[in-house]
Amino acid sequence: MAITQPYYRTCRQFIDGHYAHGGKARYVQDGRFAKDGEHYVRALTLIQKDLLELFDFIEPDENNKNTFSFRTHALHTRAAIEVEANCKAILTENGYGQRENGKVLDQSAWTMKDYKKLDDTHRLSAYEVRLPVWKGAPVTRKPFEQWATGNALPWWGAYTDAKHDRHEKFAKANFTSLIDAICALVAILSAQFHRHDFSPGVMGLDLGGGQPVGYDTAIGGYFLVKFPPWPVAEQYDFQ
């Protein structure tokens, strides 16, 4: 039996096989669906703007995958922090609380073990993200793919390594880790708000542009995202 009302901050496929056909995704605009959703989307648009400026100096090319600098480190850190902020917002608004010795732990005690639970509720490991301009491999990025096999996320590991020992682990915050971290942010926002960016325009308007089959323009208007299919029992079914 399909789900007859949406979970907070959780975007899913409907039983007709679509995410937004016929305006069905308008529920993400409801003020009860997410607290300050525009705040989280705005963070992506600012990070995306800085990434495009970085492309003036580092060509989006596989040959530059190991390039690192204070700019890549700073942007990588911001993207990872935003992914964690979204994880916490989803868990909090859905009433999640990890119990230890009979007490509910504060958000500050949550770890990646807690955040990984979102792979079951949002299918993050199945999200695919692409840059419209990228030379070489990988063309398609699945920033949460490792969660499906129980492994750690490389871009997140690079973030924590560089945070705790920047002098020795500085090079881990490289161009590859940066791109993957931003793709992760695109994926987790897509998994909450579909393509809604809280602008006053018409939601979901897409006039095409030659993107690969199965991909939609993501929030922010630059990246491309492929939304995953859902098992019928976990799909939405409401007006």
Give the list of residues 6+ apart from residue 155 with CB closer than 8 angstroms, or none. Answer: 76, 80, 143, 176, 177, 178, 180, 181, 184
Whether residue 200 has a cis bond before it, omega within 30° of 0: no
Tell me the pTM: 0.93
Within a domain: residue 158?
yes
Neighbours of 100 (CB within 10 A): 9
- Whether residue 173 lies inside any domain: the answer is yes
Contact 196, 219 (CB under 8 A): yes
Report the C-alpha gap between 238 and 34 in whole angstroms.
18
**Total domain count for the chain?**
1
Q: Establish if 150 belongs to a structural domain.
A: yes
Any domain includes 12: no
Domain-embedded: residue 224:
no
Report pLDDT digits (tens) over 152-177.
999 999 999 999 999 999 999 999 99
Residue 103 lies in a domain: no
Model confidence pLDDT, tens digit, residues 175-228: 999 999 999 999 999 999 999 998 875 454 444 456 788 899 999 999 999 999
Mean pLDDT of 104-131: 93
The verdict on residue 9 lying in a domain is: no
Q: Cβ contacts of residue 51 below 8 Å, gap of 6+?
A: 75, 178, 182
**CA–CA distance, 45 with 36 (Å, rounded to integer):** 15
Task: Determine the pLDDT at residue 204.
Answer: 46
pLDDT digits (tens, 9 = 90+) for 10-68: 999 999 999 998 899 999 999 999 999 999 999 999 999 999 999 999 999 999 999 99
Name the nearest CA neighbour of 82 among 155, 161, 11, 174.
Answer: 155
Its domain, for residue 205, covers 21-94+111-217+229-234
Does any domain span residue 190? yes
DSSP-derived 3-state class of residue 20: coil
